[in-house]
């Protein structure tokens, strides 16, 4: 049974975590190149947040949102 779990650990370290090991090695050479994916995800998140806020403003300006106090039947 011990060999089974050691095999799973070896598989994870050698196969699944190999991209992270390469990023760790790349960070020693160039910080910017190693964090390119992080900046890309941050830009995508910022663009999604801006889009969401603009959509909320559009619905608020058109008065399409119900703002009465009893918007739910249980209230």
3-state SS, the chain, equals: CHHHHHHHHHHHHHHHCHHHHHHHHHHHHCHHHHCHHHHHHHHHHHHHHHHHHHHHHHHHHCCCCCCCCCCCCCC
Q: pLDDT of 13-42, one tens digit each?
A: 889 988 888 888 888 888 888 898 899 999
pLDDT at 41: 95
Mean pLDDT of 57-70: 78
Would you kindly state where each structural domain of the chain is located, as residue ranges? Answer: 1-30, 35-65
Q: What number is the average pLDDT over the span 48-58?
A: 95
**What is the rounded CA–CA span in Å between residue 27 and residue 43?**
21
Q: What pLDDT shows up at residue 49?
A: 98
Scanning the structure block, which residue is given the tokens 């608020």? 60
pLDDT for the residue numbered 62 = 87
């Amino acid at each position: 049974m011990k060999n089974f779990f050691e095999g799973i650990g070896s598989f994870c370290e050698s196969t699944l975590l190999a991209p992270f090991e390469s990023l760790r090695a790349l960070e020693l050479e160039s910080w910017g190149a190693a964090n390119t994916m992080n900046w890309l995800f941050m830009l995508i998140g910022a663009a999604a947040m801006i889009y969401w806020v603009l959509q909320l403003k559009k619905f608020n300006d058109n008065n399409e949102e119900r703002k009465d106090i009893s918007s739910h039947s249980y209230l």
